[in-house]
Structure formats: C-alpha cells, structure tokens
Amino acid sequence: MKLKEEKELQAISKEFESALQSFHKKSYIKAGDAFKSIIETYKDSEFYSVLEIQARAKVYQSIAQAQAHPLKLKLESALDYLWEGVFQLNAGNVDQALEHFAHAENSNYRDAYLYFLMATAYLRKEDTAGSLRYVEKCLKKDDGYKVIVYNEPDFEPLHENPEFLKLVE
C-alpha cells in the first residue's frame, strides 16, 4: 500500500468511525452531516479501499436522513386506515391497530375482512368477548369466513370456547 493511500485510508476510517458513533447514539442529524462530509471529501479518491468506505457512508447517510426525517403518512380513506391498522397489528401495536380499524368502521367501511382483523386484534389483547363480537360480525357479513376463522392459528385459543364453536360450525 502506498503511503498516500495509507494516509487517506486512515483519515477516512477515523471520520467514518466517528460518524458511526453518532449514528449508534441515534444522533441522526449529526451522523448524516458527518457521512455527507465523508462523501464529498473522498468522492474523487483514486483508491478503491477509500471509495469502498465512501460508498458505505452513502448508505449510512441515507439511513440517517430517513431516521431524522421520517415520512408522515396522510391517511385519508377508510382503506388507508384499514391498511395502516394491518401494519400496526403486524408490528405488535394492537391498540393503534384497533384505533385505525375503528376509524375505518366509523367511516362506513363494514367489510368481513375488517371484522376479521378486529377479532384478531381483540384476541391479541386477550379480550375474548370483543374478539367473539367481531367474529360474529365477520361471519354475518360473509359466512365463507367460517373456514378461515376456524383454521386461523390466531384463533386457536378459542377452539375450546363453546360460543366460538357455535359461530364457526
């Protein structure tokens, strides 16, 4: 390794490590600025090893920017609330999911799938009565869901419940 390459590699490595420390401390704006500086400073380097670190800095800068300025979704339609509810349910945020599902229902979106999701969410909150209420609403909208509900692993805790069995038979 040439002396010039070694010096440049040491310099970028030190700057990159400092930027990573800020990133790991969740100081995303500071980290983003540090990564941006690395990208600009070393963009014309003639050494592959330096350009490799500079390329990594681009990735981290992008992540830092996304963390510092997260996208805000604008929920407008009942379907927007339904899909955000699905996202929140999958993320384990059951209360937020239920809020979005309730908003969709209050916006006159009354679909069997919505009620299926609400039943699932209530069951995750260990609210059997709430879950059964929405299973019933789901099946009133579309009795084809009987097979789906019965075979859904989320509803296994209800397989011994007589009210549930009466609904799905």
Is the pLDDT reported for residue 3 higher than 90?
Answer: no
Global pTM exceeds 0.75: no
Q: Which part of the chain is CATH 1.25.40.10?
A: 78-168
42-54 per-residue burial string, b: 16 or more CB within 10 A, e: under 16 = beebebeebeebb
Q: What is the structure's pLDDT at 12?
A: 94
Banded model confidence at residue 54, pLDDT cuts 50, 70, 90: very high
Mean pLDDT for 94-109 is 95
Is the pLDDT reported for residue 22 higher than 70?
Answer: yes
Mean pLDDT for 90-117 is 94
Mean pLDDT for 94-106 is 96
H-only helix segments in 42-73: 48-68
Q: What is the structure's pLDDT at 1?
A: 63
**By C-alpha distance, which of 158, 11, 60, 45 is closest to 167?**
158
Percent of the chain clearing pLDDT 90 (strictly above): 81
Is the pLDDT reported for residue 71 higher than 90?
Answer: no
Contacts of 141 (CB under 8 A, 6+ apart): 110, 111, 112, 115
Is the pLDDT reported for residue 72 higher than 90?
Answer: no
What would be the CATH architecture of the domain defined by 78-168? Answer: Alpha Horseshoe (1.25)
Q: What is the structure's pLDDT at 133?
A: 96
Banded model confidence at residue 110, pLDDT cuts 50, 70, 90: confident
Residue 121 · residue 101 · CB < 8 Å? yes
Whose tokens are 């349910």? That residue is: 89
